[in-house]
Chain A
Amino acid sequence: GESVGLHLPTLSVQEGDNSIINCAYSNSASDYFIWYKQESGKGPQFIIDIRSNMDKRQGQRVTVLLNKTVKHLSLQIAATQPGDSAVYFCAQGAQKLVFGQGTRLTINP
Chain B
Amino acid sequence: DVKVTQSSRYLVKRTGEKVFLECVQDMDHENMFWYRQDPGLGLRLIYFSYDVKMKEKGDIPEGYSVSREKKERFSLILESASTNQTSMYLCASSTRLGGYTFGSGTRLTVV
A positions within 8 Å CB-CB of B: 9, 32, 34, 36, 41-46, 49, 89, 94-102
CA distance A36 to B58 in the complex (A): 20
- The reply to whether A95 and B103 contact each other, CB–CB distance below 8 Å, is no
- The reply to whether B102 and A89 contact each other, CB–CB distance below 8 Å, is no
- The reply to whether B50 and A95 contact each other, CB–CB distance below 8 Å, is yes
Question: Within residues 76 to 111 of chain B, which ones have a CB less than 8 A from any CB in chain A?
Answer: 90, 92, 94, 96-105
A4 → chain B closest CB, angstroms: 8
* Nearest residue, chain B, Cβ from A100: B42
Q: Total contacts A to B, CB within 8 angstroms?
A: 49
* Of the residues B31, B41, B42, B100, contact of A34 by C-beta under 8 Å: B100
Chain A CB count within 10 A is highest, among B94, B100, B104, for B100
Cβ contacts under 8 Å, A97 to chain B: 45, 100
Rank and list the top 8 A-B pairs by shortest CB-CB distance, nearest first.
A43-B102, A101-B42, A99-B43, A44-B102, A43-B104, A99-B42, A43-B103, A94-B98
Knowing that A49-B98, A97-B45, A99-B42 touch, tell me 17 more A-B residue pairs with CB under 8 angstroms.
A34-B98, A34-B100, A36-B102, A42-B104, A42-B105, A43-B102, A43-B103, A43-B104, A43-B105, A46-B100, A89-B42, A95-B94, A95-B98, A96-B33, A96-B45, A96-B48, A98-B45
CA distance A64 to B109 in the complex (A): 36
Instruction: Name 19 A/B residue pairs within 8 A (Cβ), A-sorted.
Output: A36-B102, A42-B105, A43-B4, A43-B90, A43-B92, A43-B102, A43-B104, A44-B100, A44-B102, A46-B101, A89-B42, A95-B31, A96-B33, A96-B45, A96-B48, A97-B100, A98-B45, A99-B42, A99-B43
